[in-house]
């Protein structure tokens, strides 16, 4: 019996596992370095401001578009469903919980994973390929402090107001659809929203912002720093950064909701 294919398969699995754990170890050390360099923020405040503009101000349009479209759709679909049960007055309650707890922060996270994460991966990947990151190290500058830490702080600072904006736009578009599509009085909609929202609803939503900021920045930057193999390599590392950070945002969204709701 020929055992060669089985042996080759086992060897391949071993190599992949070894590669995976080595990458995880490198990612952990990279993340640790990014956090340990936070005290240097004063030196890199201009880089922080640049990144805050890129991930904050410049991201407002995409966050608004996604929040308005999902808020409107949610109001239409949920309103249709509630109408069957004669409970259309609960539309404000159901849409506000969905938007504030889940959809507002999740959509913001996914949009920024695509926008901010892609930019990080491509920019840092191009710098890696053209030896600019090696040049920083060669002349005595810590590339993680210069390039990653300001991105991390900017995301931590800017993701919170973006989440608030996403919630606000989502809720108001839902209110607009409730009034103009379902012919629901705005007073009835907002009366079902405000008195019933509990602090834990806001905690669930807003705790996600810093979690997503850390995931998106570190995963995309790490993939940029790991880029190899010319322009194709930059493309690969950028895609990998977006796919992995989007997947982790979805997983983190579930676990943050579960942990906060079970403990509050």
Report if residue 130 touches another protein, rule: CB under 8 A.
Answer: yes
Determine which residue in the list 6, 24, 32, 135 makes contact with another protein, applying CB under 8 A.
135
Report if residue 134 touches another protein, rule: CB under 8 A.
Answer: yes
Report if residue 58 touches another protein, rule: CB under 8 A.
Answer: no
Q: Could you identify the residue written with the tokens 């503009």?
A: 53
Secondary structure of the chain as H, E, C letters:
CCCHHHHHHHHHHHHHHHHHHHHHHHHHHHHHHHHHCHHHHHCCHHHHHHHHHHHCHHHHHHHHHHHHHHHHHHHHHHHHHHHHCCCHHHHHHHHHHHHHHHHHHHHHHHHHHHHHHHHHHHHHHHHHHCCHHHHHHHCCCCHHHHHHHHHHHHHHHHHHHHHHHHHHHHHHHHHHHHHHCCCCCHHHHHHHHHHHCCHHHHHHHHHHHHHHHHHHHHHHHHHHHCCCCHHHHHHHHHHHHHHHHHHHHHHHHHHHHHHHHHHC
**CB of 214: closest distance to another protein in angstroms?**
22
Q: Which is nearer to another protein, 7 or 141 (CB)?
A: 141
Q: Binding string to another protein for residues 140 to 169, with x set by CB under 8 A, is what?
A: xxx---x-----------------------
Report if residue 12 touches another protein, rule: CB under 8 A.
Answer: no
Report if residue 131 touches another protein, rule: CB under 8 A.
Answer: yes
Distance CA 189, CA 36 (A): 47
Determine which residue in the list 132, 161, 181, 232 makes contact with another protein, applying CB under 8 A.
132
Distance CA 211, CA 144 (A): 20
In this structure, what token pair is assigned to residue 214?
A: 């850390």
Report if residue 230 touches another protein, rule: CB under 8 A.
Answer: no
In this structure, what token pair is assigned to residue 185?
A: 């009085």
Determine which residue in the list 5, 138, 183, 195 makes contact with another protein, applying CB under 8 A.
138
Contact segment (CB under 8 A) with another protein among 102-110, 135-143, 205-213, 216-224 equals: 135-143
Q: Which is nearer to another protein, 133 or 252 (CB)?
A: 133
Contact segment (CB under 8 A) with another protein among 1-9, 63-71, 124-132, 191-199 equals: 124-132
**CB of 127: closest distance to another protein in angstroms?**
8
Distance CA 29, CA 17 (A): 18
**CB of 157: closest distance to another protein in angstroms?**
23
Contact segment (CB under 8 A) with another protein among 94-102, 104-112, 137-145, 215-223 equals: 137-145
Report if residue 46 touches another protein, rule: CB under 8 A.
Answer: no
Distance CA 137, CA 240 (A): 25
Report if residue 40 touches another protein, rule: CB under 8 A.
Answer: no
Q: Which is nearer to another protein, 58 or 142 (CB)?
A: 142
What number of chain residues touch another protein (CB under 8 A)? Answer: 12
Q: Using CB under 8 A, list all residues that contact another protein.
A: 130-132, 134-135, 137-142, 146
């Amino acid at each position: 019996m020929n055992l060669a294919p089985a042996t080759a398969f086992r060897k391949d699995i071993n190599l992949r596992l070894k590669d995976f754990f080595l990458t995880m170890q490198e990612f952990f050390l990279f993340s640790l370095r990014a956090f340990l360099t936070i005290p240097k923020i004063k030196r890199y405040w201009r880089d922080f401001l640049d990144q805050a503009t890129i991930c904050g101000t410049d991201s407002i349009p995409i966050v608004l578009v996604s929040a308005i479209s999902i808020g409107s759709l949610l109001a239409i679909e949920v309103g249709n469903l509630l109408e069957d049960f004669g409970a259309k007055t609960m539309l404000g309650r159901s849409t506000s919980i969905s938007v504030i707890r889940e959809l507002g922060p999740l959509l913001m996270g996914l949009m920024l994973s695509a926008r901010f994460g892609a930019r990080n991966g491509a920019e840092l990947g191009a710098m890696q390929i053209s030896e600019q990151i090696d040049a920083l190290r060669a002349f005595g500058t810590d590339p993680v402090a210069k390039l990653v830490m300001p991105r991390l702080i900017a995301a931590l600072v800017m993701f919170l107001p973006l989440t608030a904006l996403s919630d606000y736009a989502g809720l108001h578009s839902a209110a607009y659809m409730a009034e103009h599509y379902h012919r629901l009085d705005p007073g009835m909609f907002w009366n079902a929203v405000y008195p019933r929202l509990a602090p834990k609803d806001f905690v669930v939503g807003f705790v996600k912002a810093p979690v997503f900021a850390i995931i998106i920045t570190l995963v995309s930057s790490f993939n940029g720093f790991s880029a190899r193999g010319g322009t194709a390599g930059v493309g690969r590392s950028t895609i990998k950064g977006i796919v992995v950070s989007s997947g982790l945002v979805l997983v983190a969204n579930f676990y943050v909701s579960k942990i906060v709701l079970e403990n509050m």
